[in-house]
């Protein structure tokens, strides 16, 4: 009877471990799929380009103000 209990416990633990492993592997596969990586990369690049554009415009405005003050 003891062996049967331990076999049942081992089977239950094994099934739960397999389920966890399959779910975890599925999430990782979805995360590193080409489309998901492209979306994350595009978002990051887009944010960096937007920040660079804002910095460039601020520097341009500052330079323009400095040049205009020299002309006055």
pLDDT of residue 72: 82
Cα Rg of the chain (Å, integer): 29
The answer on 49 and 25 residing in a single domain is: no
The closest of 61, 11, 33 to 3, measured between CA atoms, is 11
**Range of the structural domain that residue 22 is part of:** 1-32
What are the tokens at 33? 């799929």
Q: Is residue 65 domain-resident?
A: yes
The per-residue pLDDT for range 8-37, each reduced to its tens digit, is 999 999 999 999 999 999 999 999 999 899
Q: Is residue 39 domain-resident?
A: no
Overall number of domains in the chain: 2
Q: Is residue 18 domain-resident?
A: yes
pLDDT of residue 52: 96
Q: Is residue 37 domain-resident?
A: no
Cα separation of 44 and 52, whole Å? 12
What are the tokens at 47? 């944010």
The answer on 48 and 22 residing in a single domain is: no
pLDDT exceeds 90 at position 55: yes
pLDDT of residue 43: 87
pLDDT of residue 7: 95
Largest CA distance in the chain: 100
Judge if pTM exceeds 0.75: no
């Amino acid at each position: 009877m003891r062996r049967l209990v331990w076999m049942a416990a081992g089977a239950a633990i094994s099934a739960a471990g397999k389920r966890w492993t399959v779910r975890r592997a599925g999430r990782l596969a979805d995360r590193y799929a080409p489309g998901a990586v492209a979306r994350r990369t595009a978002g990051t690049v887009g944010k960096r380009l937007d920040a660079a554009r804002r910095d460039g415009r601020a520097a341009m405005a500052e330079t323009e103000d400095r040049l205009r003050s020299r002309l006055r």
